[in-house]
Amino acid sequence: MSDPRQPLRSRLVANVHGFVQGVGFRWYVEHEASRLGLDGWVANQSDGSVEVVAEGRPDVLERLVAALWQGPPGASVRDVRWRHEPARGNIAGFAIRSAAHRGD
């Protein structure tokens, strides 16, 4: 049973650090987020990290954070920094974006 005090949707903004580029990490995140029914995007960053923005139920977003810590075979996740924000509702589906894309 869901907690009526918990918001229906929240926004997760996460940065994943470690050996996370060139190992299929963005594809992995897209697959996991889509499987969980989340909306958002994932993109490589110039500092070698991967940024993830996802919207959905807070309990489902926590499952995505756990998946970020695991990563795909070949990845080595050193740190995941994340925060929750109010959902904006301006994203539909989940996509891989280029590093040149900023925001939504």
Active site residue 26: yes
Which residues lie below 8 Å from residue 1, measured CB to CB, with a gap of 6+? Answer: none
Active site residue 88: no
Annotated active-site residue in 44, 78, 81, 83: 44
Separation between Cα atoms, residue 95 and residue 30, nearest integer Å = 6
Q: How is 9-66 classified by DSSP, letter by letter?
A: -EEEEEEEEEE-SSSSHHHHHHHHHHHTT-EEEEEE-TTS-EEEEEEE-HHHHHHHHH
Annotated active-site residue in 5, 11, 15, 26: 26
Of 15, 96, 16, 9, the C-alpha closest to 55 is 9
Residues carrying an active site annotation: 26, 44
